[in-house]
Amino acid sequence: MKNKVLLIIISLSLLFSCAPREERKPEPPIMHVPPEKPVTVVPEIKPPVVPLPRYQERIRCEDDTFRTYNLCGLDILPFLRPLFFDMDHDGIDEMIVGSRDGALRLYRNTGSRGKPRWSLEAHYFDGIGAGAFSAPAIGDLDSDAVPEVMVGAGGFSADSGRVALYRNMGTLREPLWRVEEGVSIHAGKDATPVLFDVDDDGRLDLIVGNADGKLTLFRNRSAGRTTAFEKDAGFFEGIRLGMYVVPAVASFGSRIVIITGDSMGKLTLLEGPRRGGANWSRSPLKITMENFAAPTFIESGDPEKKDLVVSDGNGRLYYYSNRKSYRQWEEQPDYFSGRVLAGPACTPSLSVKEGARLLVTGNINGSIRLFEHDPGSELAPWKERKDFFKGIKLSGFSKGVMTQWEGSELLVTGQQDGLLRAFINIADHEHPVWNEMKGFFAGIGKIMHASPAVFDIDGDGRWELVVGDVEGHIRGFSYDVSSGGALPQWKEMAGTFGKVRVGRFASPSLFREGMKLYLLAGQQDGTIAVFSAGLAEGKAVVFEKADLLQGIRVDTHSSPSALFRDGIIELSVGDYSGSLRHFACRRVDVEIQGN
């Protein structure tokens, strides 16, 4: 049994030992692989999205008033009170002026004595002012070679009739003005002072005019820097002049010469001894202003006499040469030339006739004037055609516009009481004769404070009438003429100006550039609103607000007139003070900054 088991074990052992073995493949050699470097993932950089530039339409203007309407350089100031004095001892008199606003202004002569050009030094008199209607007097009261300034006040201010004294605590070129407390002189309403050494004691005395036509002398009783004046009630005893008297004083030999102006524009010569009293001689001068004459003396170049400068209530200035003994005077019209003066509440209207520019102006007094442009003139490029509108006088505020009617010149006017009127020239431009065309605007009711403009809005060759009113509305009217009819029939233009509204006292002007119409509207606050309307065939003309004109602001009651020529918008703007400014404007596209 044991043998059998052994045999089986041996057989099985031989069986497995003789079975073919699977050939074992050699393992590949182990190779050293360096570790992979980390992969840096670079984010995709997209170029920034640059927004396309956005542009907005603007009208950009350059103020060139002093090359156009005011070569003289003097601002147009109502109720101007002039004075000439060498403030800085350079041998050249400056011009110092007071005015309705109560401020003082200093102008330096940058030209010559014979052909002055005046330049404003804006802040010279900072710290000095009257409540209203300032009237300056200047002189060295304490003999320290530094002039003092005395200022009279007028109008409806609480200081009316008071004369205040100011001392310079700085230098002649950089003054620092301080009022001297304790010196307060009263001489009735609307004080107009002048300094003059009446009694030859080396001290400047004070003569003051007032609204009642009286002159009062205050004698200088100062000691050192302590200023004191004493009233001398008898010096001008028995002298009564026109209302709102303004005196100018000079020496003539051993006598005193006083020339006074008054509210009626009249000038009067007073001559008397230095002791005053009842020995004054009095005679009228053959010089008359429109109103509120204010005389002052100016150096003539001859130490024996002075010349005369006179202003009026509208800001005009006139120079007169002294021909004989302060009684005979000759006007020198070029001395203050180069200014266009239309009067308070100036309303300009530009037009072109046969290539020549015309300027029509109205004002608060109802006066209409014509100025013609003379590009060859160095002194006054705009020359007034005096009496061109002879016989035409409007009521109160006025504006006039020149146009054509059946081949003749036509003047369209508006006025304060709401009436629109038309005057036709039945002669020629050189020798005009004006007839009013009664009923020309029949069918158009009263438009209070009517401010007219004319423009061919629809391009049919006939002008339309555009009128602003006291409430800030602007209305348009077109006309038809029936067969055989001499007068037009008017129809209001519905919708064209429906979106237009400005501040009170709207004053319109229109111009065209390409396929757009522009409406400029003056208003009470002195700014100008702009509206525009596209021109497309078959579409109605509707003006909408366009924020185009920025940075132009004048005194209250702006009144614009625009004329488009050779790519330039000639913009003239009048205001309540009577100033007339000129801007050369261009329409530009301005890039809008930010979002």
Amino acid at 327: R
Largest CA distance in the chain: 189
Give me the DSSP letters along 359-381.
Answer: EEEE-TTS--EEEEE-TT-SS-S
271 and 384 together in one domain: no
Comparing 178-182, 217-221, 291-295, the range with the smallest average pLDDT is: 178-182
Q: Please tell me the predicted confidence (pLDDT) of residue 484.
A: 59
Is pLDDT at 349 greater than 50 in this prediction? yes
The residue among 143, 79, 95, 111 whose CA lies nearest residue 299 is 95
Angle at 478 between CA 585 and CA 485, to 5 degrees: 135
For residue 341, count other CB atoms closer than 10 A to its CB: 22
The residue among 333, 320, 413, 409 whose CA lies nearest residue 366 is 413
Q: Please tell me the predicted confidence (pLDDT) of residue 483.
A: 59
Residue 229, C-beta contacts closer than 8 angstroms, at least 6 positions apart: 183, 185, 205, 206, 218, 219, 220, 221, 222
Q: Please tell me the predicted confidence (pLDDT) of residue 191.
A: 97
Both tokens of residue 516?
A: 């757009």
For 109-131, write each residue's pLDDT tens digit: 998 888 889 999 999 999 998 88
Is pLDDT at 35 greater than 80 in this prediction? no
Is pLDDT at 284 greater than 70 in this prediction? yes
| Whole-angstrom distance, CA of residue 263 vs CA of residue 294 | 9
Query: Is residue 61 a part of any domain in this protein?
Result: no
| Whole-angstrom distance, CA of residue 433 vs CA of residue 65 | 32
Query: Is residue 57 a part of any domain in this protein?
Result: no
DSSP state of 129: B
427 and 351 together in one domain: yes
Check: CB of residue 216 under 8 Å from CB of residue 233.
Answer: yes
459 and 319 together in one domain: no
Check: CB of residue 208 under 8 Å from CB of residue 218.
Answer: yes
Query: Is residue 351 a part of any domain in this protein?
Result: yes
| Whole-angstrom distance, CA of residue 482 vs CA of residue 551 | 46
For 391-430, write each residue's pLDDT tens digit: 998 989 999 999 999 999 999 999 999 999 999 999 999 9
400 and 523 together in one domain: yes
286 and 381 together in one domain: no
Is pLDDT at 59 greater than 50 in this prediction? yes
Query: Is residue 507 a part of any domain in this protein?
Result: yes
Comparing 36-45, 176-185, 217-226, 385-394, the range with the smallest average pLDDT is: 36-45
- Domain extent, residue 220, equals 72-332
- Band of residue 14 on the pLDDT scale cut at 50, 70, 90: very low
- Band of residue 46 on the pLDDT scale cut at 50, 70, 90: low
Residue 108, C-beta contacts closer than 8 angstroms, at least 6 positions apart: 92, 94, 118, 119, 121
Angle at 76 between CA 74 and CA 79, to 5 degrees: 115
Integer-rounded Cα radius of gyration of the chain: 42
| Whole-angstrom distance, CA of residue 130 vs CA of residue 141 | 20
Residue 266, C-beta contacts closer than 8 angstroms, at least 6 positions apart: 242, 284, 288, 289, 293
Is pLDDT at 21 greater than 90 in this prediction? no
Q: Please tell me the predicted confidence (pLDDT) of residue 548.
A: 81
Check: CB of residue 257 under 8 Å from CB of residue 250.
Answer: yes
Mean pLDDT of 528-532: 95
| Whole-angstrom distance, CA of residue 317 vs CA of residue 306 | 17
The residue among 458, 478, 571 whose CA lies nearest residue 522 is 571
The residue among 367, 310, 308 whose CA lies nearest residue 341 is 367
Distances in Å between the Cα of 83 and the Cα atoms of 150, 184, 196, 287, 327 are 12, 21, 13, 19, 21
Q: Please tell me the predicted confidence (pLDDT) of residue 33.
A: 54
Amino acid at 150: M
Q: Please tell me the predicted confidence (pLDDT) of residue 156.
A: 84
For 498-513, write each residue's pLDDT tens digit: 999 999 999 999 999 8
Q: Please tell me the predicted confidence (pLDDT) of residue 380.
A: 77
493 and 544 together in one domain: yes
Domain termination site, one of 332, 365, 395? 332
Residue 347, C-beta contacts closer than 8 angstroms, at least 6 positions apart: 361, 362, 363, 397, 398, 399, 400, 451, 507, 559, 574
457 and 426 together in one domain: yes
**φ, ψ of residue 4 in degrees (nearest 5):** -60, -45
264 and 372 together in one domain: no
378 and 476 together in one domain: yes
Is pLDDT at 477 greater than 60 in this prediction? yes
What total number of domains does the chain contain?
Answer: 2
| Whole-angstrom distance, CA of residue 471 vs CA of residue 44 | 64
Both tokens of residue 301?
A: 């170049």
Strands (E), 457-567: 464-468, 474-480, 489-492, 507-513, 516-522, 528-534, 544-545, 559-565
360 and 402 together in one domain: yes
For 225-277, write each residue's pLDDT tens digit: 789 999 999 999 889 999 999 999 999 988 899 999 999 999 999 998 877 66
Both tokens of residue 514?
A: 């390409």
326 and 352 together in one domain: no
Is pLDDT at 30 greater than 80 in this prediction? no
Check: CB of residue 161 under 8 Å from CB of residue 188.
Answer: yes
3-state SS assignment for residue 4: helix
Query: Is residue 42 a part of any domain in this protein?
Result: no
CATH number for 476: 2.115.10.20
Domain termination site, one of 332, 364, 381? 332
Query: Is residue 132 a part of any domain in this protein?
Result: yes
Q: Please tell me the predicted confidence (pLDDT) of residue 10.
A: 46
Mean pLDDT of the chain: 89
For 67-95, write each residue's pLDDT tens digit: 899 989 999 888 999 999 999 999 899 99
Domain termination site, one of 306, 332, 358? 332
Amino acid at 442: A
Residue 193, C-beta contacts closer than 8 angstroms, at least 6 positions apart: 135, 136, 137, 150, 151, 152, 163, 185, 206, 207, 208, 209
3-state SS assignment for residue 204: coil
365 and 325 together in one domain: no
Mean pLDDT of 55-61: 80
CATH number for 97: 2.120.10.30
| Whole-angstrom distance, CA of residue 82 vs CA of residue 98 | 7
3-state SS assignment for residue 564: strand
